[in-house]
Structures are given as C-alpha cells and as structure tokens.
C-alpha cells in the first residue's frame, strides 16, 4: 500500500468516526488589515481553506510523519491539498494553491505557520500570543500577520518540535523554556498555567550570516570612527559590558565587537542558549543545561563560568549576565581574563552598574556593598549602551567609562553620547559625538601597542594642566605607572606662605617629586610620602618638622585613620602637633590620593 493510500485510508477512518472524535478547530480570529489587492471576502475564503487543510493534516499527521523521501512527500502533500479543494468545492488561483502546498509541507517537516516568517529575511522577531495572534517585527516596527494556528495543541506541537532536539522539555511542572533554532535564533516559550492566553512563543531571529561592522554602519547603529575606537578598546583588553533594553541589539552588537579579538587568542563563550557566532578559529562554546524530569542534572551558567577558568581562556564572553554569574564574571575580569565581554539589560549605563550590584547580591554571599562596588569599579572598564529609538532604529547612544569609586559611589564619565539633530519623515537623525573627556585608559593603549593619534575621534590630547582622574589601580598605581606613562597629578604640590613669623603649607599630597607620580595605593606609603614632602618644603622655608604646631590631615576613608596614625607617630614620636581630620576633597580623590596634609610651623 502506497503512502498516499495509507493517508487516504486514515482520513476515511477519521471521517467515519467524525461524530465520535472531531478535531477541535479554533474559531476564526479577528483579521489583521487585508493585504493590498485582496477583498475581505477573499481573505475569509483563504482563511477557511487554511483551517480545513490544517485539520486534515492533524487527522493524518502520524501517517505523514512516515515520509522519508522528499519527492514522495511533495506528491502526497499536493494530493492532500487537491483532495480538500475538490471535496469542499474551493476554487483557488495557482499561486494560492502553491502557497497552501508550502504551508502543509511546513506543517509536516518545519514549524507550521511560523515557517514562512522564519524564512523571511526582513523579519527580525516572531511573537505568538496563543493560536490566533501572530505578530512580527520588521524594520523595528511590530505588525500583525494573517497567519494563525489551529488551536493550543497545534502551538504545543510546534514548541515540542523546536525544543526536543535540544533535549529540553516544557510541561505544567516546567512551563517555560529557552531554546534555539538550528540557525541560532533564540526561542522562548511559555505555556499554562503561566500564560493565560494560550501557548506563547517569542523568536529572536539572527542573520544567516553574522553581521559585520559594515552592516552595522549601514544600519546607522554607529559610525566607522566609533567602531575603530571600540576595536582599539578590545585590542587593549578593556573589559566591556554592552547594556540596553529588550530588543535593543545587545547580542548582535556584542557579536560584532567580538570580531575585534585577535585570532590567536583562546575564547570561551558561555550562554543559556548559544547565540553568538564568533569567527575566530580557537573558540570553545559552552551552553547551560536545565534540570531533567527528576529535577537533577542542571548545569548553571555560574558552574560553567567557574569551569571556564580552568580551561586556560584568554578571554571569556558571557552572552548575558542575569543573576549570580555576574560575581564570577567580575572576578574573572580582575584575575587574568582581561578583555572579557558580556551584556546585560539596563536602561542606562548607570543602571547597568546597579543591576550588577543586585546580581552579585543574588549569590547569597554576605558582602558589604562597598566591597561589591569596589570589585565592579575595578573590573568593568567600558559600558557600550544600545537603544531602540522611537523610529525603530537601534543605535549606540552612550560609550561610558567606569574609572573608579568615591564615597562608595562608582565613578563614570561619558566619552561619547548620541545627540539627536532632527526628526524628519519619521526618522531620527543624529550622531554619536565626543564629550570632550579624555578616558583614563588611553595610556593603556600604549602598553598593548595600540596606536591612536592625538585628538583622534574628538578625544582631546593629554593636557598636563588638566590631568583629570588618575584611573584604576589595574593600570594606574605603583610599578605599572612608569610602564604606561601615566599622567602627572598637577595637584597636591602644597602652597607655602610665610607671615607673622609662621610658615603655612596647605594640601601636600603623596606625589613623588622625582617622578611626579603617586607614591602607592597604600595609606601608609602615601602618608610617608606626604610627610617626606612636608619635611622638604619646611626645610626649604628655613624651618623643620619639630617646629610644626598645628596640622590638618584629610583622609579619603576615615576608617584608615589607625593606619595613618601608625605612620604619623613614627615622624612625631613625642608631643606631636595639635591637629584635626577632614575628608579629602573630590579633586584629590579622583587623582588617586588617599591622604593630603597641611601644617602651620614656626618660622
């Protein structure tokens, strides 16, 4: 018996038992706008035919699945479509018949009503809200399409077809799932009891070939100059987070930035559902695993991240930090895996930092907030913030440096910001413009051999009169300062005034006069350097430390007083001068000072 005969016999059996077991068919859904060139009556007829064909496929589904030869399947589908059209007296055009055949074939071997949408390169997202409502995103705008499923069971069957090859499941005990399609497109599905509108599917499509810099420039996401700047940042091994709202293009942009990583480095990527499409040759892709039916066997992103540290990576790329894995990512960034990349959901760069704090707290460790912020400030160097604007375009709207911490607050400064210049014909016009601030990490480029001419990209050249913040300890203190040609602080020199038989010296900082650099990041070392500087200035003014009658010390952190006082007593072992303590002013904190000292001495 041929396959076609088996299908017909199965259908005859289904027809004879029609009263006993009828295939449930959802009522016709409210229709989206009628396509140009069709009448509402014609649209209603085509919708009716489609429902009949879907019901026919459901009734014969098991027999149709036996097909192995594509040629035989095509003939069987054509016969099935023609039989339904003749049986029910439907008259269709040639192109309509071809479309019905394609839809039935997709129902058997593909993803049913979603198949033509997934094959449409202009569609970037597909959203199924129950069987009767399917929406797509095209050119940044969401529109409804005239496709639909037969019923809830029909949607569930397509979900199973998506997730089964990945070894994932969805049922009442686990009513949500993340998965991916064979082309890498990301899939999220939610069913009852979480969803009250029926099974919900959301598919974020990815290009069949990964987007490149030229594509992003063509889309207007960022300019060629901005990509050159970001390339330099990646080559200089800055740690970068790409932040943005849902659908703002974070993962796509991260994929493009990853192309700047040299091909001779070992890269480990970690994702919930693998989406990244790296073009380097030495890439290890890791994917988390959900628990099985018994609730065992789960492999979290945190576990994968900790394991990745034993795999000798040069860089780690985490597709998205959502929870406790943020702590492991931050620690990896500060313990040898510099140049790592990740993404996170946030409305602004500052919100990204706050979310990282929250995610670290989600680990359950009892850590002081200051300690968390210090780790974040040390680990994260750059935040590239993307946004989907009102006209549907996706753009980079901020490139923000994270350069330190002060008063328990993480310090940031925008290096580039998007400036809107016009809104014409429904399109936003503007450019990512420099703010005139020179990032503190510019000196690090030299250490990695990244050449960047002065005044490139609108970033001002180094001005000794306006040195700006000192930068991070990873490249801004101790022995590394000479290696990367750090800036010389123009503050903390101390002003000397003689009046009324007294010598007044204010704000002497921990700057080594031989090098012009901060002595150290240690409070004791900085106190020692301050006092040595004071001694030299007093002697130059014809007096000495034992003539000091009053002192003022300004500390960045009052809790460091004991460490400061221990060094202070070495210089004033007997009756020391009367003194008072204050908080260090912001300009000295940003320069990397932990202390400055002023005194009054007898001439």
**What confidence score (pLDDT) does residue 37 get?**
55
Give the dihedral sign, CA 568/569/571/576: positive
CA distance 172 to 199: 12
Q: Residue 150: helix, strand or coil by DSSP?
A: coil
Task: Say how far residue 19 (Cα) sits from the centre of its chain.
Answer: 55
Rounded Cα distance between 350 and 412, Å, is 8
Q: Give the Cβ contact number of residue 397 at 10 Å.
A: 23
Is residue 109 within 8 Å of 73, Cβ to Cβ? Answer: yes
Query: Nearest-CA neighbor of 226 among 97, 78, 87, 395?
Result: 395
User: 399 Cβ partners below 8 Å, 6+ apart?
Assistant: 226, 229, 230, 382, 383, 384, 385, 414, 415, 416, 417, 432
Phi (first) and psi of residue 49, to 5 degrees: -60, -40
Residue 147 pLDDT: 83
Cβ–Cβ under 8 Å, residues 475 and 339: no
CA dist 516 → 493, 498, 512, 540 (Å):
10, 25, 5, 19
Q: Enumerate residue ranges in the chain where pLDDT < 50.
A: 1-4, 6-7, 10, 14-26, 28, 476-489
Alpha helical stretches, state H, 238-320: 250-258, 301-308
pLDDT score, position 199: 95
Predicted pLDDT at 469: 65
The domains located in the chain, with CATH, are: 1-109 (no CATH), 115-208 (3.30.450.90), 213-458 (3.40.50.300), 493-602 (3.30.1330.40)
The residues near 263 (Cβ < 8 Å, ≥ 6 apart) are: 280, 281, 282
Whole-number Cα distances in Å, 63 to 2, 6, 156: 11, 7, 19
pLDDT at 316: 94
Q: What is the pLDDT of residue 24?
A: 45
Q: Report the pLDDT value the prediction gives residue 290, as an integer from 0 to 100.
A: 82
The pLDDT score that the predictor gives to residue 19 is 43
38 Cβ contact partners less than 8 Å away, ≥ 6 residues apart = none
β-bridge partners, 125:
137, 204
> What pLDDT does 273 receive?
78
Nearest of 155, 119, 127, 162 to residue 273 by alpha carbon: 162
Residue whose tokens read 């027999």? 63
pLDDT at 588: 84
Phi, psi angles (nearest 5°) of residue 281: -85, -30
């Amino acid at each position: 018996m041929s396959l076609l005969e088996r299908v017909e016999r199965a259908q005859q059996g289904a027809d004879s038992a029609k009263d006993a077991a009828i295939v449930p068919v959802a009522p016709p859904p409210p229709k989206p706008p009628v396509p140009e060139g069709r009448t509402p009556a014609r649209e209603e007829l085509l919708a009716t035919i489609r429902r009949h064909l879907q019901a026919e496929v459901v009734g014969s589904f098991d027999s149709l699945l036996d097909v192995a030869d594509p040629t035989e399947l095509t003939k069987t589908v054509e016969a099935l479509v023609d039989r339904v059209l003749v049986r029910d007296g439907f008259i269709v055009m040639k192109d309509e018949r071809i479309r019905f055949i394609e839809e039935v074939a997709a129902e058997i071997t593909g993803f049913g009503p979603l198949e033509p949408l997934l094959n449409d390169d202009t569609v970037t997202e597909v959203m199924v809200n129950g069987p009767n409502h399917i929406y797509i995103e095209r050119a940044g705008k969401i529109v409804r399409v005239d496709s639909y499923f037969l019923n809830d069971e029909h949607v569930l069957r397509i979900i199973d077809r998506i997730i089964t090859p990945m070894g994932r499941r969805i049922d009442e005990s686990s009513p949500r799932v993340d998965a991916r399609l064979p082309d890498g497109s990301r899939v999220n599905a939610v069913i009852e009891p979480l969803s009250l509108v029926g099974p919900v599917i959301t598919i974020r499509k990815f290009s069949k070939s990964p987007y490149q810099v030229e594509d992003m420039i063509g889309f207007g996401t960022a300019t060629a100059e901005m990509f050159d700047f970001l390339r330099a940042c990646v080559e200089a091994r800055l740690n970068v987070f790409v932040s943005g709202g849902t659908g703002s293009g974070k993962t796509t942009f991260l994929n493009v930035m990853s192309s700047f990583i040299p091909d001779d480095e070992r890269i480990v990527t970690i994702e919930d559902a693998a989406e990244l499409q790296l073009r380097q040759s030495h890439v290890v892709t890791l994917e988390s695993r959900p628990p099985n039916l018994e609730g065992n066997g789960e492999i979290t992103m945190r576990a994968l991240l900790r394991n990745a540290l034993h795999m000798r990576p040069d860089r780690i790329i985490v597709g998205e930090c959502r929870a406790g894995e943020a702590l492991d990512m931050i620690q990896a960034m500060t313990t040898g895996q510099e140049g790592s990349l990740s993404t996170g959901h946030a409305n602004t760069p500052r919100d990204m930092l706050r979310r990282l704090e929250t995610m670290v707290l989600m680990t359950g460790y009892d850590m002081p907030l200051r300690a968390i912020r210090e780790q974040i400030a040390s680990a994260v160097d750059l935040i590239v913030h993307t946004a989907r604007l009102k006209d549907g375009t996706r753009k980079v709207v901020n490139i923000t440096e994270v350069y330190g911490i002060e008063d328990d607050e993480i310090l940031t400064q925008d290096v580039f910001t998007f400036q809107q210049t016009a809104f014409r014909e429904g399109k936003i016009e503007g450019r990512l413009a420099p703010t005139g601030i020179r990032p503190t990490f510019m000196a690090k480029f030299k250490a990695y051999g990244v050449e960047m001419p002065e005044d490139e990209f609108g970033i001002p050249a180094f001005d000794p009169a306006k040195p700006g913040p000192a930068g991070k300890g990873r490249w801004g203190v101790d022995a590394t300062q000479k290696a990367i040609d750090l800036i010389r602080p123009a503050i903390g020199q101390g002003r000397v005034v003689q009046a009324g038989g007294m010598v007044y010296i204010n704000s002497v900082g921990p700057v080594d006069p031989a090098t012009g650099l901060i002595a150290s990041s240690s409070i004791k070392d900085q106190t020692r350097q301050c006092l040595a500087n004071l001694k030299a200035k007093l002697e130059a003014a014809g007096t000495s430390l034992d003539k000091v009658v009053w002192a003022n010390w300004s500390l960045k952190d009052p809790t460091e007083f004991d460490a400061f006082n221990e060094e202070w007593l070495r210089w004033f072992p007997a009756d020391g001068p009367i003194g008072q303590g204050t908080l260090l002013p912001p300009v000295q904190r940003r320069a990397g000072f932990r202390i400055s000292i002023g005194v009054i001495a007898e001439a």
